Amino acid sequence: MSKNVLFYARYSTERQNEVSIETQIDLGREFIEDKGWTLIDVFTDHAVSGTSYTTRPGIQDLLVRAGKRDIDVVLCVTVDRVSRDSEHGNGFLKRLRFQDIELWTVHGGTAVTDIEMSLRVTLSQELIEQIRYRTREGMKTAVRKGKATTCLAYGYKVRQEYDGNGDRIPGLRDIVPDHADTVRWIFQQYAEGVSPRDIARALNKQRIPGPRGKAWRDTAIRGHVTRGTGILNNETYIGRVVWNRRQYRKNPDTERRVARPNTDDKWVVNEDAKLRIVDDALWARVKARQAEVGDLFTHTKTNALNATHRPSYLLSGILECAECGGPYAISGKDRYSCTNHKKQIPIDDLDGACCQNQKTILRSDLESRVIACLPAAFLQLGIFDKVSADVLQRQQAKLKSTPSQSQQLTAELAKIEQQQASIIQQISDRAAEARPRLTALDDLLDRLELQRETFSAELANTAHVEPDMSERLAELRRQINPEAAQKIMALLLYFVRDDVDTTTKQPFVDMTRKFIQKVVITKTPGHRRRSFAFTAVLHRSSPQWKLRPSWSNA
C-alpha cells in the first residue's frame, strides 16, 4: 500500500559538508522508491547540533506539516538525525504517534518502536557526554603543557613547528609584534585615564584592525573584570594562562548556553614568560584604575544607570538605527541614541564609514509615542476581533464542558445510593453469618439517607430555576467583544507608563514587549533638527505601521 512520506535530514556542524545532506536525501529516495511510497516533502537542518530541538527550523516545520493529517510516515537515515537527546527524541515520536504517523529509518528498514527510540537516543546522549568529558580533560592537559586550546587572544598567532614524523605540533603560539605594540598602547592609554570608548575610536581612526580583523569596540577592550574577559583583563598578556574560569550549560527551555563561574580550585593555571606582553607595573596601574572606576560606579547616586540593578525599560533591546542597523541605547540623561554613532565605529555596510545618525530621543517621549499608536495598530490589523473571538471560543467550550448544577446533584445522588447499597450488603452478609449487627453501620446508613433526601429536594428545585445553556452563551457574547478587549488593552497600557511604581509596572512592561518585535529610528526627510520618525514591527505580523514625522523635545 502506498504511503505519504516526509523525509528529514540533518548534519551537525559547519565542519561537515552539504554533501552529507545530499547523501541522506539520496538514500531516502531510494528507500521510498523500493517501498513504492510517495515522497511529499523534504525538510533539512544544516550545521545544527542534534542536542538542539526547538531551535531547529527544519524539524519544527516538519511537525507543522505533519499536523495536516495526510502523512503516514516520517523517514530519516538514522534515529540520531532526529535527536541526540532522550527527552526530545521520545517527545518527537510521541507527537508523531498522536498524528497516527510512523517514524521509519533507512538504516533499520522498519518503524521505530518506543524502546528503540529510548535506547538509541540515550546511547547518543551518553556518547556526547563522554566526548565532552574527554575533550575537556584533553584541553586541561594541553594547558598544563603550555599549549593553546581555543582561539588565540589578540596579539598571538599559531606557531608552525613539526615533530620528527613531519606532523605539525598543535597548540603552539608566538607573539605578533605589531599586535603586541597595540596591546601595550591600550594598557598605557587606559592607565593614563582614557576611556575604552575613546581608545576604540582612536584605533579605528588609525585603521588598525581589531580582533579577527573587525572594527574595535569598547567592549572588546573593557571586557568583564571578574570573568577575565577583554583586552584589559586577559592575564595571558602577563604570561599567566588561566583556563576553565567558567563552565557552560545549555538551558533546557531556551536551548542557549549559559555561562557559570567555576571556583578557583577548578582553574587550570600555567605560567609562561614567553607569552608576556605587558609588564607587571603597567598591569598593576590598570588594575588600580579599574578598581577606582568600579568604586565610582558602585557608590554613585547621581545616575541610576550606574546602579547594579537597572530598570527594564519598555523598548530596551528592540530599538534599531535605520542608517546603520545598530542598536539605540540609553546615553546621557535618560535619552536614546545610536550606539555605533556615539562610539564612532566603522560599519561594513556603510563601506567603512561611521553612522551619521546623531538623533537622540527622550526615553519617555519615545515610549509614549509607541504606546499611543499600539491600539490603532491593533485595530488596523484586526487584533481585537481575533482576541475576542478566541476568548469567546475558549469560554464557550469551557461552559459546555462544565457540568450544570443538576448534573452535579445527580452525580452526588448516584454516589450516595452506591454507598447505601454497599452498607446494606454488609448488613445482610453479617446477618447470614449470624454475626451481631453493628450500630455504626446503621447510623451511617441513616446519615446517608438524610443526605439523599436533601440532594433529591435540591435537584427538584434546580430543575425549575437553572438557566438554559443558550442564555449563558448569549450572556458570554454580550460580555466578550472587541470593545471589551480594547478596554483591557487600555488598562494594560496605563500600567506601562511611568504613573506607577516599578514593581507594579514590570509585569505589564513584559507583556507589552511581547507585542513589539522592533522599533526602527530614522531621521525625517530634509534632516530637520527637531524631528524624527520611527517604524514599529509587530510580532508574528508582516504589516508595519509608521508614525508621521513628529516634533521631539530635543
Band of residue 444 on the pLDDT scale cut at 50, 70, 90: confident
Instruction: Look at 63 and 12; give whichever has higher pLDDT.
Output: 63
The answer to whether residues 482 and 391 touch, using CB atoms and an 8 Å cutoff, is no
> Rounded mean pLDDT of 335-341?
87
| pLDDT for residue 351 | 76
Find all residues with CB under 8 Å of 294, minimum gap 6, and list them. Answer: 225
> CA–CA distance from 7 to each of 50, 87, 96 (Å)?
16, 21, 13
Contact 470, 396 (CB under 8 A): no
Burial class (CB in 10 A: 0-12, 13-18, 19+), 34: exposed
Q: From edge to edge, which strands make up the β-sheet containing 328-331?
A: 328-331, 335-338, 361-362
CB neighbours of residue 453 within 10 Å: 11
Round to whole Å and give the CA distance between 448 and 453: 9
Asked if residue 537 has pLDDT above 60, the reply is: no
57-108 pLDDT, tens per residue?
999 999 999 988 899 999 999 999 999 999 999 999 999 999 999 999 999 9
pLDDT surpasses 60 at 301: no
Q: 23-32, 53-62, 79-88, 488-497: which range is least confident on average?
A: 488-497
Q: What is the 3-state secondary structure (H, E, C) of 484-510?
A: HHHHHHHHHHHHHCCCCCHHHHHHHHH
pTM for the model = 0.57
3-state secondary structure of 525: coil
Lowest mean pLDDT among 232-241, 270-279, 355-364, 376-385: 376-385
Please state, rounded to an integer, the average pLDDT across all residues of the chain: 81
Please determine, for residue 466, whether its predicted confidence score (pLDDT) is greater than 50. Answer: no
User: Residue 150 has what DSSP assignment?
Assistant: S
- pLDDT attached to residue 276: 95
Q: Give 546 or 373, the one with higher predicted confidence.
A: 373
Q: How far apart are CA 296 and CA 311, in angstroms?
A: 20
315 vs 527, residue with greater confidence:
315
**Rounded mean pLDDT, 244-248:** 88
Distances (CA, A) of 108 to 5, 79, 97, 113, 493: 16, 9, 19, 11, 56
Higher pLDDT, 393 or 346: 346
What are φ and ψ of residue 159, in 5° steps? Answer: -95, 125
Residues in Cβ contact with 380 at an 8 Å cutoff, skipping those fewer than 6 apart: 543, 545
What is the per-residue burial (b if ≥16 Cβ within 10 Å, else e) of 88-100? Answer: bbbebbeebeeee
What DSSP string runs through 241-302? EEE-SEEEEE-TTT--EEEEEPPGGG-EEEE-GGG--S-HHHHHHHHHHHHHHHHHHHH--S
pLDDT of 359 above 90: no
The confidence band for 309, taking pLDDT boundaries of 50, 70 and 90, is very low
Query: pLDDT (tens digit, 9 = 90+) per residue, 132-161?
Result: 899 889 988 988 888 888 789 999 999 888
DSSP annotation of 304: G
For residue 536, name the pLDDT band (cuts at 50, 70, 90).
Answer: low
| 307 has pLDDT over 60 | no
Distances (CA, A) of 465 to 287, 404, 456, 459, 476: 81, 12, 15, 10, 19
Residue 341 makes CB contacts below 8 A (sequence gap 6+) with 321, 324, 326, 354, 355, 356, 357, 358
Q: How far apart are CA 418 and CA 368, in angstroms?
A: 65
pLDDT category at 15 given cuts 50, 70, 90 is low
